[in-house]
Structure 1
Amino acid sequence: MSVKSQNTLKAKSQELMNLLQNSDIPILHLDLNQFEYYVKSPKNYSIILMFTILDSQDCKICSEIYKEYKILAKSWKKCDLYSNKIFFMIADFKKAPGIFEDMKLKSVPLLVYWPSKKKKSSMETYPIEKLGIEAERMSLWVYSKTNIQIRIVRPVNYQNLLMILGAVLLVLSIGYWQRNRLSFLLSRYVCATLALAFVYIMISGQMWNRIRSPPFMHQNHKTGQMTYIAPGGSSQFVAETYIVIALNAAITLGIIMVQEASIPRKRINKNVRKVIAVVGLLLLSIFFSQLLSIFRHKYGNYPYSFLFK
């Protein structure tokens, strides 16, 4: 490559840096001319480009993934490694339909990695249905393509912060007004409930969620069908965690009811104890069967089932 060509490429990347320098959201919204110049022509930088339709009621997933895409781009600008090696861009069908005609695209959203090569065939597509739309997942995908690690910095969620502060104040208020009656905390029922809650959290995969940041659930963009249980044993959705907690809680309740019904008590007659025992057995049977069914769904070779397959 000649010195003149190298200078041209450097000037092009510097133009992009100048365009995005004062922008809070370092994403270049392309028109057809910019697409031809910055994307398709020779370059010495990589591009993450999103094809989408913004401000559309017909594509809810487009707005959701755009929010995560903005978080990814903002995190890149805040990164210590921020440079002109990679740029984030977007092509909106409403503003630049010519780009979609040129690329012969028929569906959105589409996120692609375009390396510093001219050939269109060299671009790679982000598998939205497989990896989800979270910025953390996009960041890992970008790292696998560019070897550039982007640490995601999410904006402060003041709603969650206020909820936590409110809960803390509520607990402190109750503790203050009932400070002479806190002996209930030593009750075996309170201790057992807290212990069970801790066990449910630990065995349901909450720690895995904290580490991997999986999506809440998955929506098939073609059919709109929602999936709450992730296939395979190496992944899970957040909703799946809550489902497992609820099933384990129902199973535990069933066991407790059966156990309580087996102990004769003066205040509970025999017929009532029979009803409690039957309800407990139903809870145990139905929800344990459902738990086995989920396990069979995730591990196809698992041979056992009870009421449901």
Structure 2
Amino acid sequence: MKFFSLCFLFVFFISFNNVNCLFDKMLSRFYCDDENCYEILGAKRSATNEEIRNLYFMKKRKINNRQNPELKKKLTKAYNILSNKLTRRYYDYYLNNPNSIINIIHFNIYYIYKFIKIIIALTIIMFVIFLFNYLHIKYEIKKVLRVLRKNKLFNKQVHSTILSKHPDYRTYDSKTRAKIHDEIELEVADTFSNEVNTKNLKISLLNDFIIFKLFFLLKQIYLYISWYIQWIINYNILKKEYNENDKIYITRTCVKLSAHKWDILTSEEKNNLMKKQLWIKQNRNDFLNELKEKERINKMSSAKYKKQIRMKKKGISFNYND
């Protein structure tokens, strides 16, 4: 029933050729508000693009940007609408049929067209980056293989690997042999990568491409945001108790340890830190204040700090951090 009622309303709008006042305001803002774009530029409806362009620059030269910033905006907006064939055609239709539903369709088509152009531009840029990165990796592989081919041990290992994997290698045709040789070379080159300071020689690894790194970065950002929102909901709003992993996370952040450094600690050191219960706000504040106090005492007892005090008394500038 709802579907039919919506269809009826849509047909009603088209039949009576009437646009809602909300759409009317939106369209007027999209064009030149309540003013006529042709009148703003002083152009006729039949004016060519060249004439519109000349009128725009002539009026723009006469305007003082500081005194009439609004007029400049109006001129620019009118010129942008009338200089574009698509928007000018839509605007002419709007002037002739201000209450037509077709104006809304034109409005949507224009923005969809702009959106598609942006998507196409981004796709081309990403493809160029992808291609450049791919060619760069291929070039690096060739450069590395050129160095490795001078190594007798490398050539022997390639030859022995080929014979072990393909006993009938010599009976294959030249194209197949070349393909197998290249594949085995890449496999063996990985074992020699440290000698030529290369990390990875496989082209097929998606992680090597910038485009995929960007996608993974977006994924990491999404995961962080979702984790942060969950943290706020669970611990700030719902006031739940911290689970074991979150307790460890808070403890790590207080003592400024990464996950890797935390894993290196002995179980005794971890237990000593966990006993402090730094996830409790009061304990955390006390611990941080204690650390600050220790840093202050260490700084005051250092030779550099004492030298700084002496220099200040003599009126000589001295930076403690240098």
Calculate the TM-score normalised by the size of structure 2.
0.23
The structure whose Rg is larger is 2
Report which of the two has the higher share of strand.
1
Higher helix share: 2
Greater RCO structure (CA 8 Å; 6+ sep):
1
- Report the TM-score, using the length of structure 1 for normalisation: 0.24
